[in-house]
Structure 1
Amino acid sequence: MAATMSMIFVLITQVMVAMVGFSYGQGLVPGVMIFGDSVVDTGNNNNLYTLVKANFPPYGRDFSNHNPTGRFCNGKLATDFTVENLGFTSYPPAYLTQEAQGKKLLHGANFASASSGYLDRTANLYQAVPLTQQLQYYKEYQSKVVGIAGKAKAAALFGGSIYILSAGSSDYVQNYYINPLLNGAYTPEQFSDLLVHSFNSFVENLYSLGARRIGVTSLPPMGCLPAAITLFGGGSNDCVARLNNDAVAFNNKINAASNAIKKKHSNLKLVVFDIYNPLLDLVKNPAKSGFFESRRACCGTGTIETSLLCNTGAPGTCTNATGYVFWDSFHPSEAANKVLSDALLIQGIDLIS
């Protein structure tokens, strides 16, 4: 099976390279627009009044310039690899940074904010940028692009770009599971319905603004995140089944919702990227992909540290993260992100066809 998947990946890559042709730096699509949470945030939280930041060492230590950028990782995110796979030579700039100006906006932008979720109340708990506000920033971005490139080129960018959304984990792990008022008012099934409603609204709004190629990530196996095992595992080192079951149930609903939206809009390409199974496989069978540690993260003790707790003074931080599935207790390492991005490439081929 592994050999077959490798052959498929090589074939897809060859097709993509042929499609790119000889235009250096020009991607398979006009641009990439990114929305969501810390899994895809590349620096929008850096200047916000929030404690949820990653713009300090050891974050970014394995990035190209070895400096922290605001990415919750030791290096590249899965979306960074995806952007590279699409043929781009630079990443969409984080919209709330100084980098997001002028011609740098003409191949997309990143609006994601760590600790954001499908529910605005989740982002508000951490002074992050809610998904509805990310959409407002995107509208502002559209006006800027029209002013820079003109209406025709702007319309081609908006209609041809790939839109990536990553959300949901913060709604559960950083809100629902720790908020007695919330989990007392809603069953997991009822709570997932709230999130799916927000998902539907977001996708419909993106569509009304010209988006025609949208990829949304499923929930990961939340019960296998090192912090989740520490907080909710009751002393066990195993993945928390209750959390994983909630993720599976939500993923089933988001797939059904996506199918309904596609039936409504025949010209919309909408793909739900399965992150759950590739990451679960890394956790359960790390050696198969060249990893040796999937319970503890690289940073600190590897059981609870993330954001401010993952700092240069955190005792026990590993010197080489390549064998670790997780960089901090919530987020995959660069090496794991590379594996996940390969899975995204295969699943998302319809978005570039």
Structure 2
Amino acid sequence: MGFSRVFLISFLVVMFIYVGHGQPLVPGMFIFGDSVVDVGNNNQIYTLVKANFPPYGRDFVTHSPTGRFCNGKLATDFTAETLGFTTYPPAYLSSEARGKNLLIGANFASGASGFYENTATLYHAIPLSQQLQYYKQYQRKLVKIAGQSKASSIISDSLYLISAGSSDFIQNYYINPYLNRNYTPDQFSNLLIQSFSTVVQNLYGLGARKIGVTSLPPLGCLPAAITLFGGGSNQCVTRLNQDAVSFNNKLTSTTQNLLKRFSGLKMVVFDIYKPLFDLATAPSNNGFMEARKACCGTGTIETSLLCNSRSVGTCSNATSYVFWDGFHPSEAANKVLADSLMMQGISLIS
């Protein structure tokens, strides 16, 4: 039996013991980024990028919209459940983010935010710099609620997740003449990577020690991207996927450098490119029927306001669809992604 198999079995035993006794594997989760992980912060701000209306949330536990850009649970929701949490870290700007609810962490993500500050500005979203300011504010609240000692333990032992970059490319770079005239995709990636490095260093300085960052997905396989940039094709847009792969390689390299620089830092790049690419290009191999079109509306471009209760053509059952709207995976796809991410992130919680 190989070392990796022994390690996996040992981890699963530990997870069973902890979770089986009602004790999460980590004290809390802190989530930063964009619409892939936003659980309702955009509900509270002045922006058109919202998901607080039907049919969003129709398959969620409450069967009502929460601000999640999905028909149901996000990959981070499934991750929280697997780690043993019975509730999810609340959206920091929501009324739920108070008192003891803050003991399990908080979600600071904002739909249409990104590593590039101006992406968030363009859509009146919450930039990562402001998300970090909210996190500092959260820490002060946590000390008042839990006391300095317990607060310090929660901060250092919790899991930190960062998901950003997709909006920077799809909702900004590719449609922004100023950016794509003045920066090649490679140069723009470099700007994003610099921002990513700064975010990690700031989190480390604030006490974070277990950090996971998601790679870019196959940008060219998102239904809206195929519609907008595919030139009439129904296939994934190769150049967009190549940009994602290039960015992901830089993300991995930069992460390795950060691990060498900062003592006690545990960090993992969660590869969502491959599992989502497999779902998008061979849906039937994974129990899905449709990957080119999303469930909502025509399934070719709708997201946020365009995906609404009057959108013509919305499917009745999203479980066979890889994508819920033009940009975001369905709950069923999120479950597949979460399972993959959990296996990749063992080192963060073991």
TM-score by length of 1: 0.96
Q: Find 1:160's aligned residue among 157, 162, 171.
A: 157
> C-alpha displacement at 1:266, in angstroms?
3.1
Aligned position for 2:229: 232
Matches within 5 A, 1:174-253: 174-253=171-250
Q: Does 1:320 align with 2:317?
A: yes
SS in 2 for 1:215: strand
SS in 1 for 2:267: strand
SS in 2 for 1:146: helix
Aligned position for 1:284: 281
Q: Deviations over 1:223-244 (max 9, x none)?
A: 0000000000000000000000
Q: Deviations over 1:145-201 (max 9, x none)?
A: 001111000000000000000000000000000000011010111100000000000
Aligned position for 1:262: 259
Matches within 5 A, 1:53-92: 53-92=50-89
Q: CA 1:11–1:243 in 2, change beyond 3 Å: closer, same or farther?
A: farther
Give the 4+ runs in structure 1 shifted more than 6 A: 7-11
How far apart, CA to CA, are the structure 1 residues paired with 2:311 and 2:236? 24
How far apart, CA to CA, are the structure 2 residues paired with 1:335 and 1:147? 39
Matches within 5 A, 1:73-112: 73-112=70-109
Q: Find 1:311's aligned residue among 295, 299, 308.
A: 308
How far apart, CA to CA, are the structure 1 residues paired with 2:182 and 2:74? 35
Aligned position for 2:347: 350
Q: Does 1:29 align with 2:26?
A: yes
- The letter of the residue matching 1:40 is V
Q: Deviations over 1:78-122 (max 9, x none)?
A: 000000010000000000000000010001000000000001100
TM-score by length of 2: 0.97
> C-alpha displacement at 1:322, in angstroms?
0.2
> C-alpha displacement at 1:265, in angstroms?
1.4
> C-alpha displacement at 1:8, in angstroms?
10
1:59–1:75 Cα contact (<8 Å) kept: yes
How far apart, CA to CA, are the structure 1 residues paired with 2:181 and 2:9? 49
> C-alpha displacement at 1:15, in angstroms?
3.8
- The letter of the residue matching 2:293 is R
- Aligned-residue CA RMSD in angstroms? 1.6
Aligned position for 1:40: 37
2:18–2:24 Cα contact (<8 Å) kept: no
Aligned position for 1:18: 17
How far apart, CA to CA, are the structure 1 residues paired with 2:47 and 2:85? 31
- The letter of the residue matching 1:76 is K
1:34–1:40 Cα contact (<8 Å) kept: yes
Q: CA 1:347–1:129 in 2, change beyond 3 Å: closer, same or farther?
A: same
Q: CA 1:248–1:70 in 2, change beyond 3 Å: closer, same or farther?
A: same
Aligned position for 1:115: 112
Q: Which runs of 5+ in 1 are unaligned?
A: 1-6
Q: Does 1:127 align with 2:124?
A: yes
How far apart, CA to CA, are the structure 2 residues paired with 1:286 and 1:176? 29
Aligned position for 1:3: none
Q: Find 2:268's aligned residue among 256, 267, 271.
A: 271
> C-alpha displacement at 1:14, in angstroms?
4.5
> C-alpha displacement at 1:9, in angstroms?
8.2
Q: CA 1:108–1:178 in 2, change beyond 3 Å: closer, same or farther?
A: same
2:32–2:163 Cα contact (<8 Å) kept: yes
How far apart, CA to CA, are the structure 2 residues paired with 1:93 and 1:220? 25
How far apart, CA to CA, are the structure 1 residues paired with 2:185 and 2:122? 20
- The letter of the residue matching 2:16 is V
How far apart, CA to CA, are the structure 2 residues paired with 1:335 and 1:304? 20
1:12–1:346 Cα contact (<8 Å) kept: no
1:9–1:342 Cα contact (<8 Å) kept: no
* Percent of pairs with identical residues: 68
How far apart, CA to CA, are the structure 2 residues paired with 1:323 and 1:282? 11
> C-alpha displacement at 1:10, in angstroms?
8.4
Q: CA 1:315–1:120 in 2, change beyond 3 Å: closer, same or farther?
A: same
How far apart, CA to CA, are the structure 2 residues paired with 1:299 and 1:139? 37
> C-alpha displacement at 1:19, in angstroms?
3.3
How far apart, CA to CA, are the structure 2 residues paired with 1:54 and 1:268? 35
2:222–2:327 Cα contact (<8 Å) kept: yes
Q: Deviations over 1:304-323 (max 9, x none)?
A: 10000000100000000000
How far apart, CA to CA, are the structure 1 residues paired with 2:12 and 2:117? 38
SS in 1 for 2:212: strand
How far apart, CA to CA, are the structure 1 residues paired with 2:328 and 2:320? 14
> C-alpha displacement at 1:18, in angstroms?
2.0
Q: Which moved more, 1:261-270 or 1:225-234?
A: 261-270
> C-alpha displacement at 1:289, in angstroms?
1.4
Aligned position for 2:166: 169
